[in-house]
Amino acid sequence: MQLATRNTQQATAAVATTATKAAFARRHKVNRSTVNKWEARGHLVMTVDGLINVEASDDLLTKRPVAYRGGTAKGPVAAEVVRQVSPDLGTLPQPDAADVVIAALSTVVREIGARAARRAIEFGATLQTAFALDVGVSLDAGEIGERFLASIGSPIPDGMSLVEIADSQHNGIVEADWPALAMAAGEPLDLPALEAWFCALPNFDPPKDASYG
């Protein structure tokens, strides 16, 4: 009986280290689009059956600077809190020009994926195409913005992205209205199937043809 109990506990512990994308999104208090973008940027450790290795992924996510993590921190550094308090509460600090640019670019990144998905359906594309564009366009916009910031001498910290900044500082990445888009496309909605299809796609590189100067 003790051996059976111990085996059951071990099996339960093994299952508890993996989660679906929906469960992982709930765990970090973000939407599924954000989780898909985390995966596309290599911030998640996936199992062969498409589940998320929770502990390993939490470790990757929490190693990023706190200001750019997005969602709710988990794991050994979850208790870490960083606050910046102005000593003079009656004086509002003047925004740095680079901070304004970063805020503007991250706002675009926050919304552009959902907008691209909606446009795709409006132009007659499939739900799969809309789903891929939701992730891909947001990441591509982030890459373009990051190169621009580097070109003006205000690069984002290593390992970070405008996607993370948009998620952490602008109330999360905008989620496409998938039920409405599925209805408009005349297709049944199966988000897990769309995610599985997307995960099986060959990895794509961000656009490298944009230049500034």
pLDDT > 70: percent of the chain: 67
- Exposure string of 79-89, with b = 16+ CB inside 10 Å and e = fewer, is eeeeeeeeeee
Confidence (pLDDT) at 92: 57
The tens digit of pLDDT for each residue in 129-151 reads: 999 999 889 888 988 998 899 89
Confidence (pLDDT) at 158: 67
34: nearest Cα among 166, 145, 147, 127 = 166
Band of residue 9 on the pLDDT scale cut at 50, 70, 90 = very low
Q: Are strands 18-19 and 52-53 parallel, antiparallel or unpaired?
A: antiparallel
Q: Hunting for tokens 């809190």 — which residue is that?
A: 81
Residue 187 has pLDDT above 90, yes or no: yes
Confidence (pLDDT) at 177: 94
Backbone angles phi, psi at 46, to 5 degrees: -100, 150
The tens digit of pLDDT for each residue in 146-182 reads: 889 989 888 887 667 787 777 777 677 888 999 999 9
With H, G, I as helix, E, B as strand and everything else as coil, classify residue 18. strand
Its pTM stands at: 0.63
Strands (DSSP E) found in the chain: 18-19, 52-53
Q: What's the average model confidence in pLDDT over 50-56? A: 87
Q: Tell me what the pLDDT averaged over the chain comes to.
A: 75
